[in-house]
Copies of this chain bind each other. A is one copy, B any other.
Amino acid sequence: MAQISDGATYAPNGKPAPVVKPGEFVFSALGLYHGHIYGMCNGLIEAGGMLKSYYDKDPKYMRIFAQRFPDAKAAAREDEILNDREVILVAGADITSERCALGLRVMAAGKDYFTDKAPLTTLEQLAQAREAVKTTGRKYAVYYSERIHVESAVFAGQLIEEGAIGRVIQVVGFGPHRLGAAGRPDWFFIKKHYGGILCDIGSHNMEQILYYTGAKDGRVVRSQIANYNHSQYPELDDFGDAQVILDNNASGYFRVDWFTPDGLQMWGDGRLFILGTEGFIEQRKYMNLGFKGSGGGHVFLANGREETYYHVEGKVGFPYFGQLILDCLNRTENAMTQEHAFKAAELSLIAQRDAVVLEAK
């Protein structure tokens, strides 16, 4: 698939690493609004999942999906998938504000749910999702792609696990994105649908802050949003940032924005800086600024022994997907705990709700 400009269809190809035999893990796709659905399905297929069927009420998205996954079956209605007893998990990238309702239907039908981030847009939805997980025993997994589907992010986690930088004390993330407004659907600019920038792309960074600090909870101590330069879209937050104190007193700060300029080689120069007591790590996730064609997967490590540049593109893979499949089959939580997935969403929603609005001057 050709790379397009806005990152909405970022769907990296990893090395196939099946964790199950063909047919052991059957899944379907429901809600195809956001291009992340391709990456989600890719990842599961590479890990051995069988994509059986897909459905969206918009024929346009059905056509695009059919071209991408010709072996899967176009379902006639959502029910056809929900009633299919062979389907273990439903992957969905519905309009953000509809993702929770879809998840409730999926879990009520006895299936695990794997949704694009942000997984929901209100704290009320979050309470419903938490309750449904409890009553159905099903999973509400979230595709926080900027960590689980980015090799530099996976590798950084492995370095920290090995103790390469000691105890993590701070995480700073930049999540710039290209707006590509012409290619965006109308709902993308309506706050009740996309949830605000901190709820939406902010959730990637909130998840990473929790993950790399090893924290289970945190407090949002400051958050801000602005529409600095897009008055034609009055409900768009083109800028947002948030600061979090974790339950282990590490801290996190991130900025997200829609200001990636057209001259940049990629839709966003996503970065993550992890400061530890014994060293630090920088990730340049999708590109190495100033070097066109540099690809993704740039990890820089400095500690007491070394200063090293690792280019890990194509070398690390994406263990999340195989772990998720096995978690569904074995009812474990190795890919990501349910509480972690919800906590990242919760903190993002709180950051959005409490954000100070910086007026453009």
Contacts and interface: CB of A to CB of B under 8 A. Distances in A.
A82 to B, nearest CB: 44
Contacts of A152: none
A279 B261 contact: yes
A269 interface: yes
The DSSP consensus for interface residues of chain A is strand
A221 to B, nearest CB: 6
Interface in A39-85: none
A306 B174 CA distance: 20
Contacts of A264: 302, 307
B291 A309 contact: yes
Contacts of A249: 226, 358-361
Interface stretch (A139-147, A190-198, A250-258, A314-322): A250-258
A76 B103 CA distance: 81
Contacts of A286: none
How big is chain A's contact interface, by range? 35 or more
A305 interface: yes
Contacts of A282: 289
Contacts of A262: 304-305
A151 interface: no
**Taking the full assembly, how many copies of this chain does it contain?**
2
Interface in A275-317: 275-280, 282, 289-292, 300, 302-309
Interface stretch (A29-37, A203-211, A240-248, A337-345): A240-248
Interface in A210-235: 221-222, 224, 226, 228-229
Given A249-B358, A253-B253, A307-B264, A259 B277 contact: yes
Nearest to A264: B302
Contact of A290 (B265, B300, B361): B300
A96 interface: no
Given A263-B279, A263-B306, A304-B263, A170 B222 contact: no
A114 interface: no
A172 interface: yes
18 contacts: A166-B229, A169-B259, A170-B255, A176-B275, A224-B251, A226-B249, A243-B253, A248-B361, A249-B360, A259-B276, A261-B304, A263-B279, A263-B303, A263-B306, A263-B307, A264-B302, A289-B300, A292-B307
The 3 closest A-B pairs by CB, nearest first: A290-B309, A222-B222, A229-B277
